[in-house]
Homo-oligomer: A and B are copies of this chain.
């Protein structure tokens, strides 16, 4: 069994993710919330069963697990207020390498396990939070060389209990994967939206815009600060994926200049079409896997996830 007991959980930051987690945990666990915004604290006080603290120190005192749910830009300031904390520490930011560095620097005694629930929407803030946000959502938990396996399993146990699909990954693989499926779509969305409005043709184009535009640009409505932080903090991995996208688009550009663009594009579209038509993949059969580092990482690498932690084994698909 995991060596860590979780009797009290502190959620620091009560935006969409933290607020939803507070609502989900309230009533089923001993949970304390904190946010630096007084209005958010006041709103969160109405959640039955949740205690709201006015300071980071008060929220963290007596907690066995701290969930850092502030944007990466605010993480530095919050972690600096809890440098003596020595329990379990996880987060929800969308880039794992910089969060890990901050946690190591400010809270060297804490047992850090980087986390990332894949459950954002284009809305932000406590007003958009809801307890069911994580039902069936993938929640990455990073299992790096220096991650304590017991700490990892304890948090995985908690999160699978909340209905999340826990995906084991290294921080590096996570950052490269989300560059592809989250950060790059934000760049493409903003680029498409900006281009649609360009010049004298903009009003006509935007009035003709229908579902292709609506969906292809939806995430560009996300707050600029959030997009800049997640993309900017993952610059290296995102840059590599962006290079590949640009290369693919340049290939399409050359086809458009060729003598038979329709035939060329009929080839060009195939790989992307096949990937999207086959997504999302359905879950494989449930199986039991030993709770060992390499075996766990293998589950994530193969596109699977963990549905429950059972002693020294996990249920995985």
Contact = CB atoms under 8 A, between A and B. Distances in A.
B218 A187 contact: no
A249 B194 CA distance: 11
A192 B303 contact: no
A81 to B, nearest CB: 23
A177 B253 CA distance: 18
B272 A194 contact: yes
Given A195-B248, A221-B273, 5 more contacts: A176-B205, A177-B208, A178-B208, A189-B272, A191-B252
B181 A227 contact: no
Contacts of A57: none
A229 interface: yes
Given A167-B204, A261-B232, A280-B206, A272 B181 contact: no
A194 B184 CA distance: 12
Pick the 8 closest A-B CB pairs, nearest first.
A232-B262, A190-B272, A203-B303, A185-B216, A228-B266, A194-B272, A220-B276, A232-B261
Interface of A: 73, 118-121, 137-138, 140, 167, 169, 173-174, 176-178, 180-182, 184-198, 200-201, 203-213, 215-222, 224-225, 227-229, 231-233, 235-236, 238-239, 241-246, 248-250, 252-253, 256-257, 260-266, 268-273, 275-277, 279-281, 300-305
A271 B216 contact: no
Interface-centre pick from A182, A188, A204, A270 (highest chain B CB count, 10 A): A204
A119 B210 contact: yes
Contacts of A186: 212, 269
A173 B201 contact: yes
Contacts of A273: 190, 193, 220-222, 224, 227
A301 B185 contact: no
A268 B276 CA distance: 28
A123 to B, nearest CB: 11
Nearest to A244: B195
Given A196-B181, A231-B261, A207 B305 contact: yes
Contacts of A257: 235, 239
A222 B229 CA distance: 33
A206 B279 contact: yes
A97 to B, nearest CB: 14
Given A178-B208, A180-B205, A218 B215 contact: yes
B220 A239 contact: no
Contact of A256 (B191, B217, B227, B242): B242
A118 B242 CA distance: 30
